[in-house]
Amino acid sequence: MPINNHRRDSHPYNHYRHRHYSQSSKSKKPWIFIIIILSLLAIVTYLYVQPIGGVSPQYKALTIPLPTKTAINWPANSQAAIGSVDDGLLTAKSNQVSKPTASTAKLVTAMTVLDKKPLQLGQKGPTITLTQNDVDIYNQYFAKDGSLAQVKVGEQLTQYQLLQGMMLPSANNYADTLAIWTFGSLEKYQLAAQKYVNKLGLKNTTVGKDASGFDPSTTSTAEDLTKLAVKAMKNKTLAEIVNQSQVDLPVAGVKDNTNWLLGADGVVGIKTGHTTEAGGVYVFASKYDYDKSHSAMIVGAVQGEPTVINAIHESRPLISQAKNNYKLSRVVKKGQIVATYHSPWGKSINAIAVNDVYVLQWKSKKIKPQIELREIMTPTNKGTKAGTITVGNISTDIILQSSLTNPDWQYRIFRYF
The DSSP 8-state label assigned to residue 78 in this structure reads: S
pLDDT value for 9: 47
pLDDT of residue 404: 87
Nearest partner of 415 among 17, 47, 128, 20, judged by Cα? 47
Look at residue 23 in the predicted model and tell me its pLDDT.
52
In this structure, the number of other CB atoms found within 10 A of the CB of residue 370 comes to 10
What pLDDT, on a 0 to 100 scale, did the predictor assign at position 49?
Answer: 63
Instruction: Please state, in angstroms and rounded to a whole number, the distance separating the CA atoms of residues 337 and 159.
Output: 52
CA–CA dist 276, 121 (Å, integer):
36
What pLDDT score does 35 carry? 79
DSSP letter, residue 405: P
CA dihedral 317, 321, 323, 324 (to 10 degrees): 140
Buried b (16+ CB within 10 A) or exposed e, 389-401: bbbbebbbebbbe
Q: What is the pLDDT of residue 346?
A: 79
DSSP sequence for 60-121: PPP-PPPP--------SSSEEEEEETTTEEEEE-SS---EE-GGGGHHHHHHHHHHHS---T
* β partners of residue 248: 254
Number of Cβ within a 10 Å radius of residue 143:
8
- Give me the amino acid identity at 388: T
Which pLDDT value is given to residue 7?
46
pTM of the model: 0.82
The predicted pLDDT at position 328 comes to 93
pLDDT of residue 55: 87
How far is Cα 305 from Cα 310, in angstroms, rounded to an integer?
Answer: 6
Low-confidence ranges of the chain (pLDDT < 50): 1-10, 12-13, 15-22
Q: How far is Cα 352 from Cα 349, in angstroms, rounded to an integer? A: 10
Distance CA 156, CA 173 (A): 15
Half-sphere exposure of 99 (CA within 13 A, CB side): 24
pLDDT at position 275? 97
pLDDT at 61: 80
